[in-house]
Structure 1
Amino acid sequence: MGAVFKVDGGAGVGFAGDGERTVFPFQFAVFGSDDVAVRVDGKPVTTGFHVALNDGEEAPGGAVIFEVAPWVGAAISIRRYLRLRRLSAYGSSASPRGDAVDRDLDYLTAALGDVDQAMVGSLRLDPADQDKGDLALPRMVPGRALVWNDQGDGLANGPDAGEIASAWQHGAMAQDAASRAEAAGTRAETALAGFQKQMAGAAFDLDLRAQNVTLWQDERRMPVIDAPGDRIMDIRETGALVRLSNGGRLSLPGVSAARNGVRYRVVNGDGTMVDISAASGDQIVPLDGAAVRSVYALPIRGDCVDLICDGGRWFAAPIAQNGPVVKLLRTGSQDIPAGGYFIVEWDQVAEDSHGLYDAALHGIGSLPPGFYHVDAGVNFAIGDTAVAVSAYVERQGAAGWSTHLQASDIVGSGSNATQSVRVSGIARIGIGTDNALRLRVRHSDSVTRQIAAGSVMSWFHLCRVGG
């Protein structure tokens, strides 16, 4: 007795052509060579091949043999396609043969299996909704979307693409109008607060433990907001004076048409490193010529900046920026060869509030434009003879490094003593160029001299005094 016919999995198989292979086997049962449907790259193929079926019940399937090998990368699909038909005719005068009945039942089983596989990829109602409605389609209307009807028990024709786009535009306009209304309300609230506090003026901050006093007069009489931590400003707080402290960060809202004219004034209230961060994808444009960036630093106590949104960008207008920018100290001894010039290398950064120390240049690079007070000193070990020493502050420009400030002195003779040679003055830093400084020294001795070791003996101080 033969095995009972059954359907395992799908009645189809796929291959990729390699330009050489012509024989492509399949293992699903068919009842004739015309039950095999072949597609190449999704298109039906009816010529250029023949189907060879296997013999016997134990080895179903066969092979599709192409006359010319499909090209490289061709997608070859071989599937069973059973048409609606009977394989045998039973007369009324004789008993039907068992093998004919069995073959017809096998055919019906295979056809039902193909229907079952096809149902897997069809749209079906959730079991919980089986008795709630039907999926009868409405009459065809070009360009319309299918939607559930108001009762939720059937399909209906919905809006077309133009109506959907129009609804989206109306929603965007409504959102913009709401933002503008909120901005107008905010400005009204701010104006009312300013009117009620028109007698308010100076702000006074006294810290007895730290012995610090901050006193300022804001000419716009803006309300003061203390933001010691990570503060995200709201559009309703426009016009506020924000005092950052304790390493806080002010996070700006994203730019939009509704925020056109929104303004904040931000001050560093305690001298810790605080900064202002733009929203994701936005940039802050400094009005002092510095580089556009997403984080605007206020490292020094008293640093103050106005932030203005024009609806498309945030602008930063510095009001006051002062205090030391960078302080480099040399704590170890260093040999200065005889004759020639020697760039001082710094082995410790005691304070680098802007992250501008550049070990490759042995100086400070990428400075914001403005005027800087420079105070640099090199501590020499006194030797047996006096020696002439010169110190130069050099600025890097388009043509390379050039002397910007210079000082000369005579280091006396003696033993177990040191003497500092100091250079001080105002250096100008340009916009985009001429924005790096370094220290170079020379001495007149014919032998090597040494920079003395010490905790604060050789230094390079830089302080921004104006934009």
Structure 2
Amino acid sequence: MGAVFANQVRASIAFVGDGARDTFPFDFDVFDAGDIRVAINGTETDTGFHIALTPSDQGGGGLVRFETPPVNATTITIARHLHLRRLSSFDAMSIPRGDALERDLDFMTAALGDVDRALTGTLRFGAGQGDGVSAALPVIEPGRALIWNDAGDGLANGPSADAIAVASIKAHQAQDAANRAEAAESRSEIAAASFERSHASAMLNLDFRSGDLLAWEDERRMPVIDAPVNRIMDIRETGSLVRLSSGAQLTLPVASLARNGVRFRVFNGDGTMVDITTASGDVIRPTNGGAEVTVYPLPTRGDMVDLVCDGTRWFAAPIHESGPVVKLLRVASQSIPAGGAFLVEWDQVIEDSHGLYDSAVHGITGLPPGFYHVDIGVRFPITDQSVFTTLSLERFDGTDWSSHLQANDITAMGSGAAHSLRLNGIARINPSPGSGLRLRLSHSDAQTRDIGASGLLTWCHIHRIGG
């Protein structure tokens, strides 16, 4: 047997059952059937099978035959496990037989081989580990982790599971505090930038695409972003007021703990289909009970929404639900004589949520204190003479009307076309029972000009956006 054991390199074999096969061979030698261990799906069993050994002179090994075939996909493991024993006994006067000595040596060789294979799967010190290191286990303390001691030369009892859980919670809280600190730093930078802008008061906006010049004042002291094309927002722009136009799309930054509290106020500035989308599969949840979406549309001119991140998703709070909304149209043409500034008279009220339109003064009166987004357009026909025009939003302070916001433009020259005069901005209404807003138009032509008849291109939209 010696040559056989010297050449064997394994002492186990595994099979996968198919529900029909009941016989499984093994090719390693054993000394009797008690040296065989059979396991089903990793669980050792000693019933339900029979072992037949093949004589060593016929190749060794044997068969395991199950009384009932193992079910399909079952893992059957057959392994050798030698229990220590003496195979031969010699007294002081007998002469040992050679085959008995050979059998004993085979047993020791096989047992040592099994021990060697078992040691390969155990934890061992590396070759470079210094002397004096011990792997002896400390006294058992229930619930404690096992760690290396401070000297690094032995094992010791570590923290309990409860202590580890508390440390994990503290680490999570520290990470959350760091994320909040990052967001607070970004918001402070925005606030500082806004404070610096506030000293400029009135602001001038030049639109080189259309040749328009727009002068307006953001009395809410918010950074204002005009987005006529697709725009990706940045966390450092939190607190900004964003105007979408020309079918633009706004993409929000990824929702994360560092973004908790980030807020944008977005409105549709010209009535085209504009929308807001999320990044990385995040969702926007409307606060008015709508379904969560990845694209939130603002289909109507003047629609406004606050977008707030809670660290995991974005919430959309429609602003028009929290204050007065007035939408006016001028459908029929109106003459605007030369040499003065004349009120635009509105002949259709599309929406007046609080009954604030006063046809006697052609304006909106009795407005509650707060900040209002104003979006106004006037269709002005083009002629062979270019003229300078001014749109003035007048505010009533309880005693008199005075100019509050202005937009100036110079019309083109030609025929059969019209020029759209625009005024956008944030108006402030102070606490006063007689507060109101109305529009006045003036031009530099020596002749009377008419606001063109249009149900689409002459409008006045006023939305309350904050107190």
> Shorter-chain TM-score category?
0.5 to 0.7
Cα distance, 1:149 vs structure 2: 2.7
Q: Distance in 2 between matches of 1:34 and 1:291?
A: 68
Q: Distance in 1 between matches of 2:301 and 2:201?
A: 21
Cα distance, 1:250–1:200 mapped onto 2, change above 3 Å: farther
1:316 Cα shift?
5.0
- AA in 2 matched with 1:5: F
Deviation at 1:28, TM superposition (A): 0.7
SS in 1 for 2:57: coil
Aligned to 1:165: 165
1:76 paired with 2:76, answer: yes
- Return closer, same or farther for 1:263/1:89 CA change in 2, 3 Å cut-off: same
Q: Which amino acid aligns with 2:25?
A: P
CA distance in 2, matches of 1:187, 1:18: 65
Structure 1 residues 84 and 310, CA, compared in 2 at 3 Å: closer, same or farther? closer
2:164 maps to amino acid: I
Q: Give unpaired runs (5+ residues) of structure 1.
A: 323-461
Task: Call closer, same or farther: CA 1:233–1:38 in 2, change over 3 Å.
Answer: same
Report what 2:253 is aligned to.
252
Identity across the alignment (%): 50
Contact kept in structure 2, 1:284 and 1:316, CA below 8 Å:
no
TM-score by length of 1: 0.55
1:444-464 deviation per Cα after TM superposition (whole angstroms, max 9, x unaligned) = xxxxxxxxxxxxxxxxxx99x
Q: Which amino acid aligns with 2:105?
A: L
CA 147–280 in structure 1, closer or farther in 2 if over 3 Å, else same: farther
User: Matched residues in 2 for 1:26 and 1:3: separation?
Assistant: 18
Distance 1:104 1:203 in 2: 102
- For 2:53 and 2:68, the matched residues in 1 are separated by 19
Residue 222 of structure 1 aligns to a residue whose secondary structure is coil
Matches within 5 A, 1:304-323: 305-309=305-309, 313-315=314-316, 317=318
**Contact 1:224–1:241 (Cα < 8 Å) also in 2:** yes
1:157-191 CA distances to partner (integer Å, 9 max, x unpaired)? 22222222211222223333344445555555555
Who is 2:6 aligned against?
A: 6
RMSD over aligned Cα atoms: 4.4
Q: Aligned residue for 2:120?
A: 120
Aligned letter for 1:69? T
Cα 1:38–1:216 shift into 2, 3 Å? same
In structure 2, distance between residues paired with 1:250 and 1:30? 72
Quote the offset at 1:308 in angstroms: 3.2
Contact 2:39–2:77, Cα closer than 8 Å, also in 1: yes
| CA deviation map 1:356-379 (0-9, x unaligned) | xxxxxxxxxxxxxxxxxxxxxxxx
C-alpha distance after superposition, 1:212-253 (max 9, x if no partner): 44555433122346888864522x542224577997753334
Equivalent pair of 1:202/1:218 in contact (CA under 8 Å): yes
Residue 102 of structure 1 pairs with residue 141 of structure 2: no
| Structure 1 residue 61 displacement after superposition | 0.8
**1:294 matched residue in structure 2:** 294
- 1:432-447 to 2 correspondence within 5 Å? none
**In the superposition, relative to structure 1, how do residues 4 and 221 fare at CA in structure 2: closer, same or farther (>3 Å)?**
same
Q: Which residue type is aligned with residue 68 of structure 2? A: A
How far did 1:142 drift? Answer: 1.3
Name the counterpart of 1:62. 62
User: SS state of the match for residue 111, structure 1?
Assistant: helix
The alignment partner of 1:147 has SS state of strand
TM-fit CA distance, 1:80: 1.0
Q: Say whether the 8 Å CA contact 1:28–1:60 is kept in structure 2.
A: yes
8 Å Cα contact 2:144-2:157 kept in structure 1: yes
The aligned amino acid for 1:252 is P
The aligned counterpart of 1:31 is 31
Helix, strand or coil at the partner of 1:34? helix
CA contact (8 A) 2:259 2:310 kept: no
Q: TM-score, normalised by structure 2?
A: 0.55
Query: What SS does the corresponding residue of 1:156 show, helix, strand or coil?
Result: strand
Structure 1 residue 59: deviation in Å? Answer: 0.6
Give 2:234's aligned residue: 233
